[in-house]
Amino acid sequence: MPDNLIVDVDKAYPRGPRIRAKFSMPTDGGHVGILFGLSGSGKTTVLRCVAGLEHLTAGRIVFNGEMWADVDQGVMVPPQRRGVGYVFQEYALFPHLTVEQNIGYAIREGSKTQRRERIEELIQLMQLSGTEGRRPSTLSGGQQQRVALARALARKPHLLLLDEPLSALDLPTRIRLRTELRTLLRTIDIPALMITHDWSEALYLGDSVVVMADGGVLQTGSPFEVFAKPTRPEVASLVGVDNLIPGHVVRRETGLADVRLNTQTVVAYDPESDGFESCYACIRGENVALERTPATSSSARNHLLGHVIEIQPSGQLDRVVVDVGFRLVALVTPLSVRELGLKEGEPVTATIKATAIHLIPR
Amino acid sequence: MNWTTVDTTLRLAGITSMILLLIGTPVAYWLTFSKRRWKFLVESVVALPLVLPPTVLGFYVIVALGPQSLLGEWIERIFGHRLPFTFEGLVVASVLYSFPFAVQPLTAAFGNVDRKLIEASWTLGVSKMATFFRIIIPQAWAGVLTGAVLSFAHTVGEFGVVLMVGGNIEGVTRTISIEIYDEVQSFNFDTAGQTALVLLIFSFAVLSVIYAVNRNVWAIRPDLYREKHTPHAG
Is residue B65 within 8 Å of residue B82, measured between CB atoms?
yes
Identify residue A192 by its one-letter amino acid code.
A
Round to whole Å and give the CA distance between A320 and A342: 9
Round to whole Å and give the CA distance between A325 and A303: 12
Quote the mean pLDDT of chain B. Answer: 87
- Other residues' Cβ atoms within 10 Å of the Cβ of residue A33: 23
Identify residue A103 by its one-letter amino acid code.
I
Q: CA of A127, closest CA in chain B: separation in Å? A: 16
pLDDT per position as a tens digit, B14-38: 999 999 999 999 999 999 999 888 9
Dihedral sign for Cα A341, A344, A345, A350, please.
positive
Whether A127 and chain B come into contact, CB under 8 Å, resolves to no
Is residue B5 within 8 Å of residue B176, measured between CB atoms?
yes
Cβ–Cβ below 8 Å for B227 and A78: no
Does the pLDDT at position B220 exceed 60? no
Please tell me the predicted confidence (pLDDT) of residue B230. Answer: 47
Name the nearest CA neighbour of B138 among B35, B233, B224. Answer: B224
Is pLDDT larger for residue A327 or for residue B84? A327
Please tell me the predicted confidence (pLDDT) of residue B72. Answer: 83
DSSP class of residue A189? -
Mean pLDDT of B108-122: 95
pLDDT per residue, tens digit, chain A (362 aa), is: 689 999 999 999 888 889 999 999 999 888 999 999 888 888 999 999 999 999 999 999 999 999 999 999 999 999 999 999 999 999 999 999 999 999 999 888 888 899 999 999 999 988 899 999 999 999 998 999 999 999 999 989 999 999 999 888 888 888 888 888 888 888 888 999 999 988 888 989 999 999 998 888 999 999 988 988 888 888 998 888 999 999 989 888 888 889 999 888 999 988 766 678 889 999 999 899 998 877 666 777 888 999 999 999 887 889 999 999 999 999 999 998 888 888 888 899 999 999 899 998 88
Percent of chain B with pLDDT over 90: 54
Confidence label for B216 from pLDDT (cuts 50, 70 and 90): low
Round to whole Å and give the CA distance between A91 and A342: 48
Cβ–Cβ below 8 Å for B126 and A80: yes
Name the nearest CA neighbour of A18 among A36, A40, A38. Answer: A40
Does the pLDDT at position B226 exceed 70? no
Enumerate residues 6+ apart whose C-beta is below 8 A from A252.
A258, A270, A275
Mean pLDDT of B153-168: 88
Cβ–Cβ below 8 Å for B234 and A141: yes
> Of A242-251, B150-159, B212-221, which range is least confident?
B212-221
Does the pLDDT at position B225 exceed 50? no
Does the pLDDT at position B217 exceed 90? no
Dihedral sign for Cα A99, A102, A103, A109, please.
positive
- Burial class from Cβ neighbours inside 10 Å (0-12, 13-18, 19+) for residue A138 reads middle
Kindly give the pairing relationship between strand A4-12 and strand A58-63: antiparallel
Does the pLDDT at position B228 exceed 80? no
SS3 content of chain B, % helix, strand, coil (to 5): 80, 0, 20
Cβ–Cβ below 8 Å for B116 and A90: yes
Maximal CA-CA distance, chain A: 78
Q: Which of B123, B135, B137 to mutate to test the interface with A (most CBs of A within 10 A)?
A: B123
Burial call A346-358: b when 16+ CB within 10 Å, e when fewer: eebbbbbbbebbb
Please tell me the predicted confidence (pLDDT) of residue B232. Answer: 45
Contacts of B135 in chain A (CB under 8 A): 94
Is residue B154 within 8 Å of residue A82, measured between CB atoms?
no
Q: Against a cut of 0.90, is the pTM above it?
A: no
Round to whole Å and give the CA distance between A326 and A307: 11
Identify which of A79, A141, A142 has the shortest CB distance to residue B123: A79
Please tell me the predicted confidence (pLDDT) of residue B233. Answer: 39
Is residue A205 within 8 Å of residue A181, measured between CB atoms?
yes
Q: CA of B116, closest CA in chain A: separation in Å? A: 6
Please tell me the predicted confidence (pLDDT) of residue B11. Answer: 93
Q: Which of A48, A84, A96, A147 to mutate to test the interface with B (most CBs of B within 10 A)?
A: A96
Enumerate residues 6+ apart whose C-beta is below 8 A from A50.
A5, A7, A61, A68, A84, A159, A161, A193
Name the nearest CA neighbour of B148 among B13, B57, B9, B11. Answer: B13
Adjacent-strand bridge partners of B214:
none
- Other residues' Cβ atoms within 10 Å of the Cβ of residue A148: 26
DSSP class of residue B132? I
Please tell me the predicted confidence (pLDDT) of residue B223. Answer: 54
- Other residues' Cβ atoms within 10 Å of the Cβ of residue B14: 14
Contacts of B124 in chain A (CB under 8 A): 105-106, 151-152, 154-155
